[in-house]
A and B are shown apart, each in its own frame.
Chain A
Amino acid sequence: ILNVEQSPQSLHVQEGDSTNFTCSFPSSNFYALHWYRWETAKSPEALFVMTLNGDEKKKGRISATLNTKEGYSYLYIKGSQPEDSATYLCAFIKNSGNTPLVFGKGTRLSVIA
């Protein structure tokens, strides 16, 4: 059984604050890590797909890093805005990749104006 752990479970920040959350996953047989944003009443939306140790990806104010040897990834949001309020999910694939994503429970972010 794979365990993908995310912390914190929920987070409230003020508009303009920067924040980050953690995803931990089994470091053996790593193949890829995905980050998704899931806004209320919408579909989960892919943010990043990361495959290499040391990878760092950025999309606007959001960035992510990956450490496959120790089994963690960080998601950073710089200058949080109310529209960033969502649940952020990470998901892991092992081995050859011919398996479905295993998701964590997510971090629910609320940005207060």
Chain B
Amino acid sequence: GAGVSQSPSNKVTEKGKDVELRCDPISGHTALYWYRQSLGQGLEFLIYFQGNSAPDKSGLPSDRFSAERTGGSVSTLTIQRTQQEDSAVYLCASSFATTPNYGYTFGSGTRLTVV
């Protein structure tokens, strides 16, 4: 597609349920990033993938969070046993590489609300 696509755009879930958020990056972009923005906070890094290298998971806030990227393309962020503090806008971005000369292209995000 022409841009980074995320689904769903909105998700309301009950506390304790698992959720899956999907990101479809721009074709040919080797790097894929997940960030989130909680209310009143800045963009918080979660995880990134670069080609076939092992992902950098250093930003994942707990072991309830995991992500995978299949075939170097689509990525899924999974949150198990959701908590209210997981409520946030989850943004996915992709770029040609992790070198800094390329700006990120962001998706429109998934707004997750845990009730």
**What residues of chain A have their CB less than 8 Å away from a CB belonging to chain B?**
4, 31-32, 34, 36, 41-46, 49, 51, 89, 91, 93, 97-106
B99 contacts A97, CB within 8 Å?
Answer: yes
In the complex, chain A residues whose CB is within 8 Å of the CB of B35: 103
Residue of B nearest to A98 (CB): B98
- Contact of B20 with A by CB under 8 A: no
Residue of B nearest to A101 (CB): B104
Kindly identify, within residues 64 to 115 of chain B, every residue whose CB is under 8 Å from any CB belonging to chain A.
91, 93, 98-109
The interface residues of chain B, by DSSP majority, are classed as: loop
A101 contacts B108, CB within 8 Å?
Answer: no
Give the residue among A4, A44, A91, A106 with the most B Cβ atoms within 10 A.
A44
Q: Given A101-B45, A104-B42, are A49 and B100 also a contact pair (CB < 8 Å)?
A: yes
**What residues of chain B have their CB less than 8 Å away from a CB belonging to chain A?**
3-4, 33, 35, 41-45, 48, 50, 56, 59, 91, 93, 98-109
In the complex, chain A residues whose CB is within 8 Å of the CB of B109: 43
A106 contacts B91, CB within 8 Å?
Answer: no
B108 contacts A43, CB within 8 Å?
Answer: yes
How far in angstroms is the closest Cβ of chain A from B77? 15
B100 contacts A32, CB within 8 Å?
Answer: yes
How far in angstroms is the closest Cβ of chain A from B83? 23
B101 contacts A105, CB within 8 Å?
Answer: no
A49 contacts B42, CB within 8 Å?
Answer: no
Residue of B nearest to A49 (CB): B103
Give the complex CA separation of A103 and B91 in angstroms: 13
